[in-house]
Amino acid sequence: YFLSLQKREISNFDYLMYLNTLAGRSYNDYMQYPVFPWVLADYHSETLNLTNPHTFRDLSKPMGAQTVERKHKFIQRFNEVEKNLSAQCHYCTHYSSAIIVASYLVRMEPFTQTFCSLQGGGFDVADRMFHSVKSTWESASRDNMSDVRELTPEFFYLPEFLTNANHFELGCMQDGTVLGDVQLPPWADGDPHKFILLHRQALESDYVSAHLHCWIDLIFGHKQHGSAAVEAVNTYHPYFYGDKMDLNNIKDPLIKSTILGFISNFGQIPKQV
C-alpha cells in the first residue's frame, strides 16, 4: 500500500482508510471510528489556494501544538502534572471519540439518536453543537484547551452530513443564531458539495501528499507513545492507550469499570501499525 501511495496508484483517502482498518478502527464502532486529519488552516478566504503552504495545517504537529502559545501550555501541563491527574500527559481529552463522531454527524440518522443518547436524551447546548467548520477548527487548533479533535472520513466525501435535511430543532445560540445547516468557509460559497470537492482536493494535494506521513507517525506510528511522543507533544492519558493496558490483571472491578468507561466516553489511541 505504501509503495502504491508513493507511485500515486492509490489516493491519500484510500491509504488513510487502509491504515485505520489495519489499526482496528471501523465504521461499526463509534469508540474506534476511522480518524482523519484536519488538512486545512484556511477557513476565511474567498478562494482556496492549494499551492500556498500557509493554506494547510501543520501535519507534523498534533492539534494541541498548532500554535506556539498552545503548545507551551500543554508542555507546562505535562511538566507540572496537575493534582487531579493520575499520570503525566499532555492531553486529558482525545482527538476521536464516540461523542466527537456523533457530534460531527448529528444531522443524520442514526448518529442523531446516538448523540442524544450519549447526551442523556437530548441535544447539547446550542453553542457547544457542531455548527461551523471555521469555529470548530479554531476551537480544536487554538482556543479550547480541552479540544484536540481531528476529523472523520465523511468530511472528504459526504456533503449530506453538513445539511439539516431532517429539520431537527438543534436550538439557538446565545448570539441569536438558529442552528440548521453547518456554516461553511467562504470558499465553499455555501454549497456542501463544493466544500467536499475542495476539501477532498486539499487531501489529495501535493502539499498533503508530501507531509501526510508526519501525521501518520503521530496517530498510527512511532510518535504515538514513548519518548518520541513526549518530544512531539503528543502524549495522552494512559487510559486512552487501551492496547497497552492489561485489563485482565486488574482485579478491582470498580477500577476496571472506570477504565472501560473512560475509554468508551473519551476515546482510544489506534493500534500502532
Q: What pLDDT is stored for residue 134 in this prediction?
A: 98
d(CA 242, CA 246): 8
d(CA 36, CA 107): 20
d(CA 234, CA 66): 12
Task: Report whether 41 contacts 118 (CB < 8 A).
Answer: no
In the chain, where the domains are located: 10-264
Write down the pTM of the prediction. 0.91
CATH fold for the domain made of 10-264:
Neurobeachin; Chain: A, domain 1 (1.10.1540)
Task: Report whether 126 contacts 119 (CB < 8 A).
Answer: no
Our CA dihedral for 123, 126, 132, 137, rounded to 10 degrees, sits at -90
Residue 215: other Cβ atoms inside 10 A: 24
Among the listed residues 4, 141, 5, the one whose alpha carbon sits nearest the alpha carbon of residue 61: 141
In tens digits, what is the pLDDT along the chain, a chain of 273 residues? 555 665 667 899 999 999 999 999 999 999 899 999 999 999 999 999 999 999 999 999 999 999 999 999 999 989 887 555 567 899 988 999 999 999 999 999 999 999 999 888 889 888 999 999 999 999 999 999 999 999 999 999 999 999 999 999 999 999 999 999 999 999 999 999 999 999 999 999 999 999 999 999 999 999 999 999 999 999 998 888 866 666 667 777 777 777 777 766 677 899 888
Please give the backbone phi and psi of residue 56, each rounded to the nearest 5 degrees, phi first.
-105, 155
Among the listed residues 134, 114, 133, 110, the one whose alpha carbon sits nearest the alpha carbon of residue 124: 114
